[in-house]
Structure 1
C-alpha cells in the first residue's frame, strides 16, 4: 500500500507489486507404516518467513483451509479426519468476521489410514492455502501416489518398503502445457484452436513492458524534508539559529573559518539524525518494521504515542529530555576543541530541541515503518536533517539574511497546535488498524469519518481564532496564511460529510476503514464481473470489440476485497470497468468440480491433475502469465495478448486509472 507521511502535502506512497511466481511453501508427502494394520499419511511443510498456511475446518465462509482428498484407493480405509500438528495460531480476522487458525514456519498434516487387503494402492492429495500480508496463493495441491504390500500381512516387507521410501517434494509453482481436453471444455463460441491460442503463454511479453519503479523512498525523503522544515519553524529550533550563527562568527575572527565551521555544524546535524534512522533500521530490520504497520499491539502503541505528542503540542505538558543531559553535552563542547566540539554542539541542539522535534521524528519513523524497508527510516531522517541543517549553514554564509528572517512569536505556537490536530487525526488511523485486527467495530468507517470531520472542523475554527490553547498569545488574531489554512481545513471537513452515507471519498480511501465496515451505505456504484469463465468472456469481448481485464481473485482473498472496496468503488474506475472493458473474474479457489479431470504436465515433467474450476484458473495464471498470487489484474486484447504491464495490490486510485487508460490507448492503437 500506499502510506501516509504528512497531511499537509497529501503524499501517497505508490508501491507497485510486480507479478512474479512465488514459492513460499514446500511440502513433502510420506506414507508411514509399521508392523500394524494402521499407518499415517504425513504432509510436512516448510513455510517462508512472513507467510502462513491455514489450518483445517475453518468453515465455508473462511479462506482456503487444509483438506484431504482421495482420487482412488484399494485396500485402504481412512481413519478419522485430517489432523494438523504444529504451533497453531488463532486470531480474529476482520475481513472474514471470524477467528482464523494458521501455521507459520512449519506444519504437518496427518491422515491416519487402515490397511484391509494384502496389497494396497492409494492416490490422494492435500489441498492448502497460504497467504502473507499482501497476497495469497491459489489453492495448492500436494499429491501422493503409493502402492505396495500391506504391513498387516507382511510386516518385514512393510519395513523394507518404508526404509526405501523417500519424501516426494512438491512445489506449488508450475507452468503446464494446454491439453486437448482442457480446450475441449471451452464454450461453443470458440473452437479448440482458438482456445489454445488464448492460452498461449505471454510471460515474456508481459515482462517486456516497463514496470514503474516505486517512488516510495523518494516520497519518504520529501516527507522527511517537510518534517524538517516544520520543525525548523517551531519555538524550540527557530530562535536557536541566530544565536548559533552569531556564536560561530564571534568565535573566529576569520569569517571564512566561521562559515566553514558552521557548515561542519550543519553536516554534524545530518550525521546525528541519519544515525538515528540507521539505529532504528538495525534494531528492527525490514520484517519487524513491516510488522509495525500491521500488528495490532504496535498500532495501539503508535496511536497512544501520537495522542501524547498531540497533547504536548496543545500545551498540556512539555516533552523534554533530562536537563542534565543537555548541560553535560554543552559543557563537553566548551571543554573540547576542533571538530569534536562542533559535533557536540550539534548534539546539544538535538537534545535542547527535542520537545519540538521529538513528536515530528516519532511520527515520521512510525509512518515509514509501514514500508517494511530498512532503508526507509534512514532516508526519512536524511531529508529531515538536511532541512534542519541547511538554514544554519546559509545564515552563517550570509549573516545579513538574519535581519530579514521572521522573528519568533505566537505564530510558532499556532504551528505546533496545528501539528497536534494532524497527529490526532493520524492516531485514529493507527487505532483503526488495531480495531480491524481484533474485530472490535468501535471505529467503523462512519465513526472514523465523524471523528475526522470534528477534528478538521475544530482546526479550522482554531485557525480563525474562535478559541485558544494555554500557550497562545492573549488577543491572538487570525492572519492571512492562517485564514487560508482554516479555509482548507473546513473545506476538507465538509468534503468528508457525504462519506457518512457511503460516498467513496477517494482522497481519504487510504486512511479510512474499508467500505464494508460502513453500516449505512447509499452508494450503489459498484463493479461486478460480467464473466467468471475465461473462454466465455473472451468470446464476448471479440463480439463486442472491447479489451479485457482478467481479474485473478479468490473467495478467500482479503486483499482482493480491499481493492474492490477501496478502488473499484471510485466512480471513474467503475465507469471504465463497466463500460470500456469486459471484466472477467477468475476465482482460483472455486471448488466446483470440472466435468472431467484434466491431466497436465509441469515444466519439470511431473504430472498435475486439475480437478476443480479453481484449479483450471490457477493453472491458467501460472502457465499463461507466469504468476500465482492474487489479486492480479491483466489487460489483454481479443487474442489474449497483454496491452500493458500487470498490476497487483495497490490502493492508489490515480495509478489504477492510469493503468486502465494505458490499456485502452494500447488497444485503440492495435
Structure 2
C-alpha cells in the first residue's frame, strides 16, 4: 500500500512537472562521420546540481529510461540505429519508491549513438531523445535534434536575435577554467540539510505558538476525549488520535507543494517573486491586517460553509472521516493559525532554499500542532495538568500581533531597498521597531488594553518578567539609531537594512565601507591591473543571509582585513530589478530551452549571469577566481566565520601558486 501511494504521488508530480518550461539540463550535440554510410551522433548534457538523468539501461518498472528514437514521423527516415548508444559514467542507487537499483547520470552525461544511412539522397537526420530528469520531483525530457549530413553539423531552428543581443549574450558567458570546483560537494549538502533543520525548528516553534491561541488550545482536550471515549477500545482510540495527528501534518505539507512546481519552472523564479517590490508591499499589508486580527479588532475566518462541509464529511467514519476531522481543524482554527502560516510563507519565499525550506517549515508547524493530540491520547492523565483556558490565551494572541507588525515592516523595508526609494533607512527602521516593542512592553505591564482583554486584577510574575525583557530589548535597539552606535545590532543582522543604507553620510554604499565594484567587467579590469584575486559576491538587497554574513562574518577583524587588502570585491545584486540598464546595454538572451529572456535591469543581468555560469540561483553565493577566470576554490555560501576565513586564505594560496 505504501509503495502504491508513493508511486501515485510520483505520477501526479511527473504529470505536472512535464509541463514546465525550463529544464535543469543543457544539451550540446555534434556529429562525426565514421565511414561513407555510418555516423556517430553525440549528445552531451550538463545537469544542474542534484538532478539525475536516467540511463537507457534503467530497470523496467522504475524511473523512465532514456530512449533514442525516430519517434515523430511515420515516413521512411532513410537510416537506422546501430545497436544501443554508448554512455559515459553512470551511477547506481537503490530507490525505495520503486524498490529497485536505478542507473543514472549526474552532473554530466555523454551519449553516443551510431547510425547507418540507407538512403543516399537523405541530407537531414532527425532523431529524438526521450527520458526523465529528477531531483525531488521529475521532469520529462523530450528533445529532437536535426543533423546535416552534408555539413556534418547539427541544424538548429533559431529564434533570430539582433546583432547587439548576440554580442551581449556571448559576453555574458564566461570562459571559466578549473570548473570542476563548481560541482556541489557533500559539505554543501550537509549545510543545506542543516539549514532545512533550522527552518523545520522555526516552523515547529510557530506551531507551538499556534497551540497557545484561543482557536486551537481548547480543542485539544475535546478532540482527545472524543477519540478515547468514542472508540471501541483504548488501543483503537489511541491509533485514531495518532492517525489524526499524521493527517494534520500531511495537510500542512500539501500546502507547500505548489511552490515546488514554481521552483522547477525557472531556477530564478522564487528569487524573482521574493524580491518583487509590489509583492513585498502586499506581504506588508497582509501582515498588518493579520496583526489587527490578533489585536482583536476583527476576526479572519474562512467561509463557514467550508467548515460545515468538512465537519459533515468527518462523520463518515474510518480513515476518511479522521482525515476530514483534521481538515476541519485546519479550517476552523485559521483565524489563529493563518497569520502565523502567512508569516512562515512570506519568510520562506524570501530565503534561499525557497520551496524546500517552505516544506520544512510547514512540516515543523504541522508536527507541533499534531503532537499534543497524539501524546494526550497515549497519556490521557496528562490532560489534568493542562492549564485552563482564560485571559492568557488572548494575551498570547496580542503578543503575536505585535510580532506580526514588526515582521511586516521587514517586508516594507525590502521594497524600499529593492526600489531604491531611500525612505526606510536603517535608523528609521530601527526607530519603528523601538515604537512597536515599546508598545508591547507597555501592554505586558498593563498600561495598554485591547478589545478582548479581561480586566487585570493583578499582573502575574511571568507577564511582568516578559514585559521587563521586552523593555530591555527596546534599550538594546536604541543605539542603533545613533551615527556611531555604542554596539552593533549583530543579534538582529539580516532584519534591519544594511549599515551602509543610513540617514548619516557614509563613505560608500558597499558593505562595511569596503571598496567594491557593482559591475563584473569593471572589477575584472581592476583585478588585472592590481594582480589580485577576485571575490565574486552574488548578493541581494532583500537577502537576509547576505546581511548576516556581512555583519557577523565580514566584520570579523581578520576576515575584514583579508577582504580589504587581498581581494577585489565584486558585489552583484541579483534582485536589483528596479534599476534599468543603459539603453545600449539592454538585450535579449536566448536560454538553453530556446526561450527568450529580456535583460532590461541590473537584476535581470546578474541573476542570469549567475545561473548561466555557475548553475546556481541562491544568495549569498561567493566565488573566488583570478583575472584569467580560473576558479580558485569551491564556491561558498552562508557559513561561520572560521570556515569563511579558511576558505578565503585557501583561495589566496591557490592564487599565488597559479
- The answer to whether TM tops 0.5 is yes
Alignment counterpart, residue 470 of structure 2, candidates 481, 485, 489? 489
User: SS at the partner of 2:415?
Assistant: helix
Structure 1 CA distance for aligned equivalents of residues 370 and 542 of structure 2 = 44
The 5 Å alignment of 1:118-267 reads: 128=168, 141=171, 172-175=173-176, 204=180, 211-213=187-189, 214=192, 215-267=194-246
Whether the 8 Å CA contact 2:207–2:369 is kept in 1: the answer is yes
Q: What's 1:584 paired with?
A: 567
State how many pairs are aligned.
Answer: 444
Structure 2 CA distance for aligned equivalents of residues 477 and 561 of structure 1 = 44
Whether the 8 Å CA contact 2:444–2:463 is kept in 1: the answer is yes
Moved more, 281-290 or 626-635: 626-635
Q: What's 1:542 paired with?
A: none
Q: What's 1:468 paired with?
A: 449
1:374 is aligned to 2:358: no
Q: What's 1:646 paired with?
A: 635
Alignment counterpart, residue 294 of structure 1, candidates 250, 275, 280? 275
Structure 1 pair 377–499 and aligned structure 2 pair: CA distance change class (3 A): same
Deviations 1:200-228 (CA, angstroms, capped at 9, x unpaired): x6655786986433233222222221111
Give how far 1:305 is off. 0.7
Deviations 1:1-38 (CA, angstroms, capped at 9, x unpaired): xxxxxxxxxxxxxxxxxxxxx999x9xxxxxxxxxxxx
Give how far 1:365 is off. 1.4
User: SS at the partner of 1:551?
Assistant: strand
Structure 1 CA distance for aligned equivalents of residues 545 and 366 of structure 2 = 36
Structure 1 pair 573–440 and aligned structure 2 pair: CA distance change class (3 A): closer
Structure 2 CA distance for aligned equivalents of residues 518 and 560 of structure 1 = 16
Give how far 1:452 is off. 0.9
Whether the 8 Å CA contact 1:23–1:172 is kept in 2: the answer is no
Give how far 1:404 is off. 1.0
Q: TM (normalized to structure 1)?
A: 0.56
Whether the 8 Å CA contact 1:460–1:490 is kept in 2: the answer is yes
Q: What is the Cα-based RMSD across aligned positions, in Å?
A: 4.6
Structure 1 pair 221–286 and aligned structure 2 pair: CA distance change class (3 A): farther
Structure 2 CA distance for aligned equivalents of residues 385 and 561 of structure 1 = 27
Give how far 1:341 is off. 1.9
Alignment counterpart, residue 514 of structure 2, candidates 488, 511, 527? 527
1:339 is aligned to 2:319: yes
Whether the 8 Å CA contact 1:527–1:569 is kept in 2: the answer is no
Deviations 1:582-612 (CA, angstroms, capped at 9, x unpaired): 42316699xxxxxxxxxxxxxxxxxxxxxxx
User: SS at the partner of 2:566?
Assistant: strand
Give how far 1:527 is off. 3.1
Tell me: higher relative CO, structure 1 or 2? Use CA pairs within 8 A at least 6 residues apart.
Answer: 1
Which runs of 5 or more residues in structure 2 are unaligned?
Answer: 1-23, 29-157, 518-522, 573-608
Whether the 8 Å CA contact 1:516–1:565 is kept in 2: the answer is no
Structure 1 pair 419–551 and aligned structure 2 pair: CA distance change class (3 A): same
Structure 1 pair 460–284 and aligned structure 2 pair: CA distance change class (3 A): same
Structure 1 pair 575–521 and aligned structure 2 pair: CA distance change class (3 A): farther
Structure 1 CA distance for aligned equivalents of residues 322 and 545 of structure 2 = 52
Which runs of 5 or more residues in structure 1 are unaligned?
Answer: 1-21, 27-104, 112-124, 131-139, 142-170, 176-200, 539-547, 590-620
Q: What's 2:576 paired with?
A: none
Structure 1 CA distance for aligned equivalents of residues 546 and 243 of structure 2 = 52
Larger radius of gyration: 1
Structure 2 CA distance for aligned equivalents of residues 507 and 241 of structure 1 = 36
Q: TM (normalized to structure 2)?
A: 0.57
1:452 is aligned to 2:428: no
Whether the 8 Å CA contact 2:263–2:354 is kept in 1: the answer is no
